[in-house]
Amino acid sequence: MIAAIIQSRMGSTRLPGKVLKRTEGKTLLEHMIGRVRRAKTPDKIIVATTENPKDDALADFVKKLDIEIFRGSEEDVLERYYGAAKKFSAEHIVRLTADCPLMDPEVVDEAVNFYTNGNYDYVSNVNPPTYPWGMDVEVFSFGALERAYKEARLEPEREHVTPYIRNHPEIFSIGNVEYKENFANLRITVDNPEDFAVVSGVFKELYPQKKNFGLQDILNLHKEKPEVFLANSHIKRI
């Protein structure tokens, strides 16, 4: 079973409650879940949030969307992912984050198919990145996740879920999906108010005419109306 696990929480130092901020009549999380639902490869979608009481509203909201919810550690996100995958008997995990509400379901499927066809333990499209910043997908086996959960000791390895896997290519078979052009510095993720201005601007431009718009539509908009993307264009990808 392939589970898409979306990590999400209300706590954010730069943009608190960002996942429940609204644009075009829906929260960012609703938009993202609706888009991931159109991906063909995941069998189940799970939102993994924290046990912190400030995430109660988020958990209640997700349940109303008829999506599975898992609550776990706030700081040890690796433990949270392991707990979610184990609870729902996931054999393969698609890791997504709720700050990517413009996620294209075809990008998800491309990563999963690359992972499956290549018989990898871990695949992403960010090592190195060529897709826009906000189309980030990781796919890995439960076995790789379990080994990382049991062996990772460093705080960044626990907080960011996959560094232990990525940093041990001698243990894990690792692959990377590349886009046909390099758009790595086109920022369409949501981490601060400038990001929200850009992403909500994209939704305002595209959603009314084509609710199922994809990455190519976003790139076309970037070419035709670059001003929509200006607010956060000063932020460079590390």
User: Quick check: is 27 in a domain?
Assistant: yes
Q: What angle do CA 229, 233, 238 make, to 5 degrees?
A: 135
Is residue 113 over pLDDT 80?
yes
- Which domain CATH number covers 191? 3.90.550.10
Comparing 14 with 119, the larger pLDDT belongs to 119
Q: What is the pLDDT of residue 34?
A: 97
Q: Which residues lie closer than 8 Å to 207 by C-beta, 6 or more apart?
A: 24, 213
Q: What is the pLDDT of residue 14?
A: 81
pLDDT tens, position by position, 137-162: 999 999 999 999 999 999 999 999 99
Q: What is the pLDDT of residue 11?
A: 82
* Token pair in block for residue 125: 């499209």
Return the closest-CA partner of residue 216 out of 178, 176, 189, 179. 179
* Token pair in block for residue 95: 């890791």
Listed in order, strand segments (DSSP E) in 112-191 are: 122-124, 138-141, 174-176
Is residue 13 over pLDDT 80?
no
User: Quick check: is 237 in a domain?
Assistant: no
What is the number of structural domains in the chain? Answer: 1
User: Quick check: is 234 in a domain?
Assistant: no
DSSP code of residue 126: B
Cα(70)–Cα(51) distance, integer angstroms: 9
The mean per-residue pLDDT over the stretch 178-187 comes to 97
Q: What is the pLDDT of residue 237?
A: 84
| Angle subtended by helix axes 215-224 and 193-206, to nearest 10 | 100
User: Quick check: is 236 in a domain?
Assistant: no
The mean per-residue pLDDT over the stretch 129-138 comes to 98
Q: What is the pLDDT of residue 146?
A: 98
Q: Which domain holds residue 194?
A: 2-229
Q: What is the pLDDT of residue 69?
A: 98
Is residue 55 over pLDDT 90?
yes
Query: What CA–CA distances, in Å, run from 57 to 26, 31, 54, 141, 234?
Result: 16, 17, 7, 31, 33
User: Quick check: is 238 in a domain?
Assistant: no
